[in-house]
Structure 1
Amino acid sequence: MIKLVASDLDGTLLLHKAQSLPEEIFSLIRQLEELGIMFVAASGRQYPNMTKLFAPVASEISYISENGALAVDHGEVLYQDSFDRKLAGKIISAILEKKDAEFTCSAKDYHYLMPKTKRFHDHMLYEVKNECRFVNSMEEMTAPIMKLAVFEPAGLTEESVKYWMDRFGKECVVVTSGNEWIDFIPFGTNKAKGIREYQKRYHISPEECIAFGDEYNDIEMLKAVKYGFAMEHSKEGVRAATSYMTKQVEPVLEKLIRAKGKIEEVI
């Protein structure tokens, strides 16, 4: 019997670079709740952005945000990781030096930004719709830092991924998060950490959990449950980490609801 469903957002529930969730997901979440199955949204996105995306059911679900750096359960913070400020400064300086690269610096309730272009400024405010604070230096970033991310507007390449991993991979986790983003997070921070916190809090075993994801930052989460589903368009390494695949999340949830949580009737 499934008791917990966790899903990534970008590339999983949000397909083709969509910035709004399909309406049907809200009904599915409510139906899962009626069956006693909790829904956890797990993303590299910031917590306030996620609550906006899930507005119709925002208070009814749980969250793992910033790639596992923050977990919030029905408004209650379960934990919040913090990034070493000296290392954060090194990463920010490296991003500012790299042509065209932009960064976000994550605090709990907003992102710190020093945009190089109006295009990135507008993208974060009006397309991604993040809560943002614009600063001129790191000294103005007074809140605890949870995560940093670099945005490569031309899209990630093997060369750019290797550049950031070679530069900072020995000091923190460096992981791709979508087609244009690379995240920098403290060692030990990932979405699986949040999943394990929810499993512990609600006495749920890995055998009672389903998770969906499409990127390398989802692999730990997919392995933290028995029923990990990689999206069909996922990279080979993500697909290799799971036993199941799907083109979309919603049909799997529909089957699970019809089966009243009995996973055997879904797979």
Structure 2
Amino acid sequence: MPKTRSTMPSKDIKFIAVDMDGTLLDQNSQLPEDFYSVYQQVRQRDIIFAAASGRQYYSLMETFAPISDHMIFIAENGTIVMHQGKELYRCEIDKPSIAAIIKQARAIDGAYIVLCGTQSAYIETQEPHALKEFAKYYHRCQHVNDLLAVDDDFIKVAICHFDGTEEHVLPSFESEFGQSHQVVVSAKIWLDVMNAKASKGAAIEHLQNTLGFSYEQTMSFGDYLNDLEMLKASYHSYAMDNAHPKVKQTARFSAPSHHEAGVMTVIKRELLD
């Protein structure tokens, strides 16, 4: 069971990475009411704040529009990191792998594919239910006739299955791609396939090395399986009260649920009090 408070001095925190859905955002996908006030206090202490999400970079930019120039965006589950419009890190998937992943996903009944490139996301379906779901996470998205014909640099393939990806998509993808790629359930109805080296944790480790902050100076918050590597890359790792059981087992500490603005509660208690 994760502890509720840190046992190391948290005043030396230099970097905070926060997952979005199920972590920072509430049940209505809204930022906490006091987010911008807390953010400004964090920034005044020279702490870097990063959104670490499976969401697209362009979606994150829109969510944090008032402060987007000051934040770091660890987008697409760590496959790309951006700051002030500049790319700090990228982890691509080769095109033969992309083709194999798409063909595998097409064979699963009820699976909807989002091909994630650095310039845009790409979809084949026009099914309204799927389009509504995609719009939450991919604000730059193009409909194409054939995903295999798209020309872009690819960082992720996201697969949506409304009956649950852990049950309907993960088994076949782990069997086919688990040894060669990062296959992670990012939400109940989403699964991502990425380069084997890609994760939110790998992106954070890159930033630790390039920006000069340490594992002990890193704080992170997460709720789902795509957050595991991020939590492992942070000493001050927090699982939300609503987190997946494996996340609670991995994190060192616990935070109140996203319904209760748990991220804000911990930051104020540990860093601002």
How far is 1:139 from its partner?
4.5
Q: Give RMSD over aligned pairs.
A: 1.7
Aligned twin of 1:31: 41
Change (3 A) 1:97 1:43: same
Q: Could you list the per-position Cα deviations for residues 62-84 of structure 1 after superposition, in whole angstroms to 9, with x for gaps in the alignment?
A: 01111111011232211212112
Partner secondary structure for residue 87 of structure 2: strand
Partner secondary structure for residue 216 of structure 2: helix
List runs of 5+ in structure 1 lacking aligned partners.
Answer: 260-267
Question: Is residue 7 of structure 1 aligned with residue 18 of structure 2?
Answer: yes
* CA–CA distance in structure 1, aligned partners of residues 228 and 131 of structure 2: 30
* CA–CA distance in structure 2, aligned partners of residues 258 and 128 of structure 1: 31
- Identity %, equivalent residues: 28
Aligned twin of 1:198: 207
Kept in 2, the 8 Å contact 1:69–1:147? The answer is yes
* CA–CA distance in structure 2, aligned partners of residues 211 and 107 of structure 1: 26
Q: Could you list the per-position Cα deviations for residues 159-206 of structure 1 after superposition, in whole angstroms to 9, with x for gaps in the alignment?
A: 542232123212311101011100001011111121122222221111
* CA–CA distance in structure 2, aligned partners of residues 170 and 205 of structure 1: 30
Partner secondary structure for residue 249 of structure 1: helix
4+ residue stretches of structure 1 with deviation over 3 A? 156-160
1:219 corresponds, among 224, 228, 250, to: 228
Kept in 1, the 8 Å contact 2:55–2:77? The answer is yes
* CA–CA distance in structure 2, aligned partners of residues 140 and 26 of structure 1: 42
Change (3 A) 1:219 1:30: same
Aligned twin of 1:243: 252
* CA–CA distance in structure 2, aligned partners of residues 55 and 164 of structure 1: 36
Aligned length, in residue pairs: 257
Q: Which amino acid aligns with 2:185?
A: T
Q: Which amino acid aligns with 1:11?
A: G
How far is 1:133 from its partner?
1.0
* CA–CA distance in structure 1, aligned partners of residues 226 and 132 of structure 2: 26
Aligned twin of 2:96: 86
How far is 1:116 from its partner?
5.1
Question: Is residue 137 of structure 1 aligned with residue 146 of structure 2?
Answer: yes
* CA–CA distance in structure 2, aligned partners of residues 180 and 217 of structure 1: 13
- Give TM-score scaled by structure 1 length: 0.90
* CA–CA distance in structure 2, aligned partners of residues 20 and 206 of structure 1: 29
* Higher RCO structure, 1 or 2 (CA under 8 Å, sep 6+): 2
Change (3 A) 1:55 1:64: same
List runs of 5+ in structure 2 lacking aligned partners.
Answer: 1-11, 257-261
Q: Which amino acid aligns with 2:112?
A: E
Aligned twin of 1:255: 269
Aligned twin of 1:58: 68
